[in-house]
Amino acid sequence: MRMQIIIVLSAALIFFMGYEGGKGNQTLTYGDTGFPKNCRAIVAENINGYRYGEFSAEDALSSINRNCGEFGYSWDNR
């Protein structure tokens, strides 16, 4: 019984740590300058820019990779 309580409490703790740490890309977020701040907004802006002919596909993907790729600048922006 004691081990089950420890497992349940540990699972709850891990869940809430992940839940809190994962917040940030549920909505589009823009900075004071009006530029996209989080990855969701960056991807949306690049798709729209490509769709309206402002960016080439290569430019849009390069921006997404630079900001939201493996070593992207925007991962910790919320």
* pLDDT band for position 50 (cuts 50, 70, 90): very high
Amino acid at 72: G
Mean pLDDT of 42-55: 93
Asked if residue 48 has pLDDT above 70, the reply is yes
- Domain ranges (residues) in the chain: 30-78
Phi then psi for residue 36, to 5 deg, are: -60, 140
Cβ of 36: how many Cβ atoms within 10 Å?
22
Asked if residue 78 has pLDDT above 60, the reply is no
Asked if residue 57 has pLDDT above 70, the reply is yes
**pLDDT over 70, % of the chain:** 79
Q: What is the pLDDT of residues 10-40, one digit of tens each?
A: 776 776 665 555 566 778 889 899 999 888 8
